[in-house]
């Protein structure tokens, strides 16, 4: 009798390949925004601003003004100019015209004469008259407490609007100038490529209790201590919390093997 054929073993079920689990976002950031390094953790950020606040509890902007309107004009004039240079020009100007109505009565020619020591003075004089006209025509001669309205004024961009909102009205805005941009990168607060990117990163990490004066602390620290070419690290109250390679101590430059190009 012929042997029975062996039964075939049951076919093995195909095992579906497991899909890799989605990558979890790393701490401190997401796929949509640049990740802050670990040193920018909340405790470190808070300590940095605590020390800046202790060293200078009531920081003040250095542009001289007597009201929101003169502040607005001073900030418009400060583009590509120093605060000291603007103050020298505006003392006589604001003595003659400290409201939009008085500025219009003064006229563009006399405004230009007052500010001729400031760079781009011709174009700036036109902007001062034009923004004064718009304030009178659309806002009753008052500076609006609104970013969108401010940014419609001639010569006014986001940075100028942030300064006016913060200083004149106490808003928690943050103006990013060259000093703030530099410090944000040196302190690993941001990897942003533009002032707006840096501003948005800073707004996410600065504790609320420090937001009122945050941009003043950063500007003044960058202007007088954390300077672009030769930071005064020996005089810096946050030096031990800073991991930037471009650090100077006792007059000695940073090690050229580790130095990176400083942010502007």
Residue 214 covered by a domain? no
24 within a domain of the structure (yes/no):
no
Give, as one character, the DSSP assignment of residue 254: P
The structural domain count of the chain equals: 1
- The CA-atom distances, in angstroms, between 100 and each of 106, 107, 116, 142 are 10, 11, 20, 8
With the CA atoms of 51, 56, 59 and 64 taken in that order, what torsion angle do they form, in degrees rounded to the nearest 10?
A: -140
Give this prediction's pTM.
Answer: 0.77
Token pair for 210: 């420090």
Looking at the domain assignment, is residue 237 inside a domain? no
Task: Write out the E strands in the chain.
Answer: none
Query: Does 124 fall in a domain?
Result: yes
**pLDDT at residue 245 in the model:** 83
Question: Is residue 72 included in any domain, yes or no?
Answer: yes
- For residue 120, give the CATH number of its domain: 1.10.340.30
- Contact of 230 with 152, CB cutoff 8 Å: no
Choosing from 159, 188, 201, 247, the catalytic residue is: 159
Q: What is d(CA 199, CA 147) in angstroms, rounded to the nearest whole number? A: 15
**Structure-token pair, residue 170:** 């106490």
* Whole-number CA gyration radius for the chain: 28
**Is there a contact between 90 and 70 (Cβ–Cβ < 8 Å)?**
yes
- 58 within some domain: no
Q: Coil, helix or strand for 14?
A: coil
Q: Is residue 110 part of a domain?
A: yes
177 an active-site residue? yes
Q: What is the pLDDT along the chain (264 residues), one digit of tens a residue?
A: 555 555 555 554 444 444 444 443 333 333 344 444 454 588 999 999 999 999 999 999 999 999 999 999 999 999 989 999 999 999 999 999 999 999 999 999 999 999 999 999 999 999 999 999 999 999 999 999 999 999 999 999 999 999 999 999 999 999 999 999 999 999 999 999 999 999 999 999 999 999 999 999 999 999 999 999 889 999 999 999 998 887 776 655 555 444 444 444
pLDDT at site 137: 97
For residue 139, give the 3-state DSSP assignment: helix
- Which residues span the domain enclosing 143? 68-169
- Residue 243: the pLDDT is 86
Q: What per-residue confidence (pLDDT) applies to 41?
A: 86
* Nearest-angstrom CA–CA distance, 211 and 204: 11
83, 98, 113, 177: which is the annotated catalytic residue? 177
**50: in domain:** no
């Amino acid at each position: 009798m012929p042997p029975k054929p062996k039964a075939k073993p049951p076919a093995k079920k195909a095992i579906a390949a497991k899909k890799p689990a989605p990558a979890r976002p790393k701490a401190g950031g997401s796929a949509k925004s640049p990740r802050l390094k670990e040193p920018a953790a909340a405790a470190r950020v808070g300590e940095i601003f605590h020390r800046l606040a202790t060293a200078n509890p009531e920081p003040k902007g250095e542009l001289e003004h007597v009201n929101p309107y003169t502040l607005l004009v001073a900030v418009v004039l400060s583009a590509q100019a120093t605060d000291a240079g603007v103050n020298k020009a505006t003392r006589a100007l604001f003595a003659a015209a400290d409201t939009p109505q008085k500025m219009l009565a003064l006229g563009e020619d006399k405004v230009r004469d007052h500010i001729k020591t400031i760079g781009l003075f011709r174009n700036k004089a036109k902007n001062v008259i034009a923004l004064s006209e718009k304030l009178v025509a659309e806002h009753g001669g008052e500076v609006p407490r609104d970013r969108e309205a401010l940014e419609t004024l001639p010569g006014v961009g986001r940075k100028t609007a942030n300064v006016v909102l913060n200083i004149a009205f106490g808003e928690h805005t943050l103006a990013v100038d060259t000093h703030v941009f530099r410090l944000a990168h040196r302190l690993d607060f941001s990897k942003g490529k533009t002032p707006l990117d840096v501003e948005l990163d800073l707004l996410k990490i600065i504790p609320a209790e420090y937001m009122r004066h945050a941009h003043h602390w950063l500007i003044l620290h960058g202007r007088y201590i954390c300077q672009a070419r030769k930071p005064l690290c020996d005089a810096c109250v946050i030096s031990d919390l800073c991991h930037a390679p471009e650090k100077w101590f006792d007059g000695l430059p940073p090690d050229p093997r580790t130095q990176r190009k400083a942010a502007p």
